Amino acid sequence: MRKFLIATHGTFAGGIRSSLEMIIGRQEDLRVIEAYTEENKGLEEDLQAVLDELSEADELVVFTDLLGGSVTNQVLRHALRQNVHIVSGMNLPLLVEVVMAGPDEPVTGVIAQAIQGARDQMVYVNDLVTAQQSDDFND
């Protein structure tokens, strides 16, 4: 079974989960860790609880906010296992694509495709509007 974890600094994880579930519906196999929301509370206990719930047949895809950030570093320290896949720098399009992928699709391919799709979603919209206006003017 494929399970998911969103782990971030502050309440970002809860907010992006809310947006994700608004788009694709409630996800029973999705957990959230909001690190440093309470004084001196990191994520180690919550992360260990998630890892302890995994069976040998489970895959866990962990999404974190910042490559090189303390959350990602702690996840790497505790979760670098064969069936755990860690994706840093996540955004909503990436989450939608990975979470919606079929469980029979190999997770490494799903992640690679989703990362490319997420990159394609990052666009300076002003340039698109300016280009469209220019095209409309030239027609």
**Other Cβ atoms within 10 Å of 4 Cβ, number:** 21
Q: Provide the token pair at 131.
A: 């280009």
Beta strands in 10-49 (DSSP E): 30-35
What average pLDDT does the segment 24-53 reach?
91
Residue 117 CB partners (closer than 8 Å, separation 6+): 93, 94, 97
Domains for the chain: give ranges and CATH numbers.
2-138 (3.40.50.510)
Higher pLDDT, 66 or 131: 66
Cβ neighbors of 58 (< 8 A, separation 6 or more) are 1, 2, 3, 83
What's the pLDDT band for 139 if we cut at 50, 70, 90? low
Q: What is the pTM of this model?
A: 0.91
Q: Which of 9-18, 78-87, 100-109 has the lowest mean pLDDT?
A: 78-87
Query: Residue 107: which H helix or E strand, with range?
Result: helix 107-121
Residue 117 has pLDDT above 90, yes or no: yes
Query: Which residues pair with residue 36 across a beta bridge?
Result: none
Q: What are 130's strand-pairing partners?
A: none
103 DSSP 8-state letter: T
Mean pLDDT of the chain: 93
> Given a cut of 90, is residue 97 above it in pLDDT?
yes
> Using 50, 70 and 90 to split pLDDT, how confident is the model at 138?
confident
